Structure 1
Amino acid sequence: MKYMRIIAIIMVLLMGQATLVSADGAYHFGFKKSSKGQRPSIDEEGFKDLLKKHGAIFTGDLAVKELYLTFDNGYEQGYTGKILDVLKEKQVPAIFFVTGHYIKTEQDLLKRMALEGHLIGNHSWSHPDMSQISAARIQQELDQVKAGVEAATGQKEMRYLRAPRGIFNEQSLAVSQQLGYTNVFWSIAYRDWEPKNQKGWEYAYKNVMAQLHPGAVILLHSVSKDNTEALGKIIDDARSQGYQFKSLDEMKIRTP
């Protein structure tokens, strides 16, 4: 099976679907933020067709008041347990994108995520710039995470990938797609990943709620104290506006 997957990747490269391997072929994911419930947009970013070609997503159905909570877990600052407590209390599903460091150091939290019904996604083993590594290295990075999560939790399938720092190119999209992954970007985010630059729960709350829109894929970093303390109110107030929180497995995949 492993060799068949490698052959499939080579075929993708030979077919010309992965030619952007230099620095100028790399993209940093960006989007026009939603405001007052309006639709977010990647129309001006230059990579919309590329995401569509390779089945990547950044929103769900923009006509349906559904939200998708996603967390990036590169390392632990002591907040993920509290986040899981809130999700359990509110009965909200989420996906946690994890790295190799997280797998090696946080086995108990991984087990809890799986036991409580959350998805665990791939954030690569060593958090590299995926646009600057070979197809073989991309596969190695993703396979290590998948195997590590399976060993820790028994989760055999891993369908979702979030590129480290949102950096990608056609090769990284094509190779990961051939390996069975859907690349998941986001339509709500703010600068929340700096543990030493936290500004209080209200700052997190206002940033998320100001961007709220139907079909939103919400990116939060689990190292943020602000996110942790704001999460319960975000959930409650989003629900009061008629939103439902869904698992990515429930999303009707909608490419850009």
Structure 2
Amino acid sequence: MLSGTLFLGVAEAISNVQYGWGFNKGKNEQPADAGPKYNAIVEKYGAVYKVNTTKKEIYLTFDNGYENGYTEKVLDVLKEHKVPATFFVTGHYLNTAEPLVKRMVKEGHIVGNHSWSHPNFTQVSDDKIADELERVKKKTEELTGQKGMSYIRPPRGIFSERTLQVANDLGYKHILWSVAFLDWDVNRQQGWKHSYDQIMAQIHPGAILLLHSVSKDNAEALGQVITDLKKRGYTFKSLDDMNCEKPQKTPQKQKIDIKI
């Protein structure tokens, strides 16, 4: 008679097919839509790119890969208008803009994870992803005292079902976006009105705005954007206010002792 251990309930290998986030932009205050394929992936892994609501609530987020001299103005505007935001930072930003990161947390904003070195997660191992995220989380806590880190924005907006699941297993929720435009190219800034017009044209209830802090246009438009959106009845909410389910972790293997 032979005895052994059988593992049941083992999940099949999760797809590492690469996706780049994209969607049909909202207009006339109707929500953006990523389409059936992306909507299914977002739902499956508990990610979010908009909040399904008819309330005029919006969520302001920034990607901070490096400092270009405009984040201080952004923080000044947010403080003046009492608006919360989430800043997704990289290791480079943490190492080169410590006073700004400390100010973010001190003034009540959330610091989220944008990876340490901004790699394409689909091209690195699970362990490498975990290390990238842990380094940002640890450094942020050392600088600011922020305990824990709940939100991730995938570097370059690139992901796969595998990378979504890896981050889920580490306790992160993916925050994508439903309002965005080409604002990250510092050589293609077109004036504050361009930024303002892009945001106002795409805005909708439940929108998650992605802005890049390197943009001069964004920094100069932000105050007017906030003022005019408030006039239109919008309120700015923190990501912590979202009523979303937590992402599901990979099911654990079930061990059963058998005798043959």
Q: What TM-score do the two structures reach when normalised by structure 1?
A: 0.90
Q: What per-residue deviation string (whole Å, max 9, x for no partner) do you get for residues 192-246 of structure 1?
A: 0011110000000000000010000000000000000000000000000000000
* Whole-angstrom CA distance in 1 between matches of 2:57 and 2:99: 30
Aligned-residue offset at 1:19: 2.5
* Whole-angstrom CA distance in 2 between matches of 1:75 and 1:82: 15
User: Gapped runs of 5+ residues in structure 1?
Assistant: 1-10
Match of 1:116 in 2: 107
Are 2:207 and 1:244 aligned?
A: no
Give the aligned residue type for 1:20. S
Aligned-residue offset at 1:62: 2.9
Structure with more strand by fraction: 2
Aligned in 2, Cα 1:230/1:254: closer, same or farther, shift over 3 Å?
Answer: farther
* Whole-angstrom CA distance in 1 between matches of 2:186 and 2:228: 25
- Alignment match of 1:35 (pick from 21, 27, 37): 27
Query: Is the 1:50–1:170 contact (alpha carbons within 8 Å) kept by the matching residues of 2?
Result: yes
Query: Is the 1:73–1:98 contact (alpha carbons within 8 Å) kept by the matching residues of 2?
Result: yes
Are 2:200 and 1:209 aligned?
A: yes
Give the aligned residue type for 1:80. T
* Whole-angstrom CA distance in 2 between matches of 1:193 and 1:138: 24
Give the aligned residue type for 2:88. F
Give the aligned residue type for 2:11. M
Aligned-residue offset at 1:61: 2.9
* Whole-angstrom CA distance in 1 between matches of 2:242 and 2:42: 17
Aligned-residue offset at 1:20: 2.1
Moved more, 52-61 or 214-223: 52-61
Structure with more helix by fraction: 1
* Whole-angstrom CA distance in 2 between matches of 1:214 and 1:228: 23
Give the aligned residue type for 1:215. G
* Whole-angstrom CA distance in 1 between matches of 2:243 and 2:55: 11
Give the aligned residue type for 2:184. W
* Whole-angstrom CA distance in 2 between matches of 1:230 and 1:243: 17
Which residues in structure 2 correspond to 1:26-65 (within 5 Å)? 26-44=18-36, 46-65=37-56
Are 2:71 and 1:80 aligned?
A: yes
Identity across matched positions, percent: 51
Q: What per-residue deviation string (whole Å, max 9, x for no partner) do you get for residues 91-143 of structure 1?
A: 00000000000011111001000000000000000000011111101100000
Could you say what the CA RMSD is over the residues aligned between the two structures, in angstroms?
1.4
Aligned-residue offset at 1:84: 0.1
SS of the residue corresponding to residue 47 of structure 1 reads helix
Match of 1:130 in 2: 121
Match of 1:6 in 2: none
* Whole-angstrom CA distance in 1 between matches of 2:185 and 2:218: 11
Are 2:84 and 1:93 aligned?
A: yes
Match of 1:160 in 2: 151
Q: What TM-score do the two structures reach when normalised by structure 2?
A: 0.89
Match of 1:220 in 2: 211
- Alignment match of 2:169 (pick from 178, 181, 198): 178
Query: Is the 1:62–1:213 contact (alpha carbons within 8 Å) kept by the matching residues of 2?
Result: no
Match of 1:8 in 2: none
Match of 1:67 in 2: 58
User: Gapped runs of 5+ residues in structure 2?
Assistant: 1-6, 247-260
* Whole-angstrom CA distance in 1 between matches of 2:38 and 2:57: 25
Aligned-residue offset at 1:254: 7.0
Give the aligned residue type for 2:29. G
Give the aligned residue type for 2:124. I
Match of 2:225 in 1: 234
Aligned in 2, Cα 1:133/1:151: closer, same or farther, shift over 3 Å?
Answer: same
Query: Is the 2:31–2:207 contact (alpha carbons within 8 Å) kept by the matching residues of 1?
Result: no
